[in-house]
Structure 1
Amino acid sequence: MSDALEKMRGFVGRYPGADVLSQLDIDYTDEVPNAGGLFPSGLVEVRRRAFIDGSREVVSQYNFALYARFEKPAEGHAAAEANAAWLMGFQEWVQGQSVMGLAPAFGDDPRSERIQAGNGELYSASDEGTALYIIRISVSFTKRYERSL
């Protein structure tokens, strides 16, 4: 598993409400309630800079989707509210961890990094009484490369 995937999986697992997820798989979400899946969707280079000494700096962004399947009976308004509260709570927690510098570092300048979780929403609901939710997570970071002589 890549270092970035392992860091993000560990980070998601630190969320105080993560204990409701019985599992957190990579690129897979089981059909049972309380299953989670972390889906990487790639690395995007945002900006590249070159310096007079030959070194380079690259600002990049990792993108992930966190899927969580929870119980949601057809008439289960309380379950729907609890699920929505979990999504909102996770997104707020990620923001707080990032702002306070408590999120994992993906690059060479942890102070400039930003992890964002947003657009949490109901993705689909099944007749079996479960619902799949998705939260998109992005990590912006800077890597520096030195010219070897």
Structure 2
Amino acid sequence: MSSLLWIVSFLLHMIALLAIYKLLQQVQHLKQQSISESNMDSKLKQYIEEIKQENRSLEAYMYKGRTNQKQQDDYIHEESEETKIVDPQTVQQDDQSKEDYWSEDAEDTVEASLDARVLQLYNQGKSIDEIASELKCGKTEAEIIIKLHQKNM
């Protein structure tokens, strides 16, 4: 009778140890998931910060371009007021070119999205810098598209 109790006790201890081991594995798996989520969150925050920085520099560049353009427009406007001569032949040519422009048939074209073009060039073995310069987009934007595509695969 006592040997039967020893066997039952041994089996219960084995089951308890197995249950504890499985719970420990689940806890470790959840920790790894939270670490990977926090890593992805920090990377996305970093990418967003880089994009914001690029946007700030672009805004500064555009503002500088606008002020230069405004100065040029003012200068041209002043000169055009001074030398305002109308040639009937040039007016007629302008009207003709407008008619030619609007009379042409427009063709529908299908273009691949930026994501598709970035991934296509990346699969061809081009670097992120080459992709960004060829597609005239930001390096960070191309890098995010590639990394998000790799995460989804």
TM range (shorter): under 0.3
Report the structure, 1 or 2, having the larger helix content: 2
Question: Which fold has the larger relative contact order, with Cα–Cα distance below 8 Å and residues 6 or more apart in sequence?
Answer: 1
Report the structure, 1 or 2, having the larger strand content: 1
Q: Look at both structures and tell me which one has the larger radius of gyration over its CA atoms.
A: 2
Q: How high is the TM-score relative to the length of structure 2?
A: 0.20
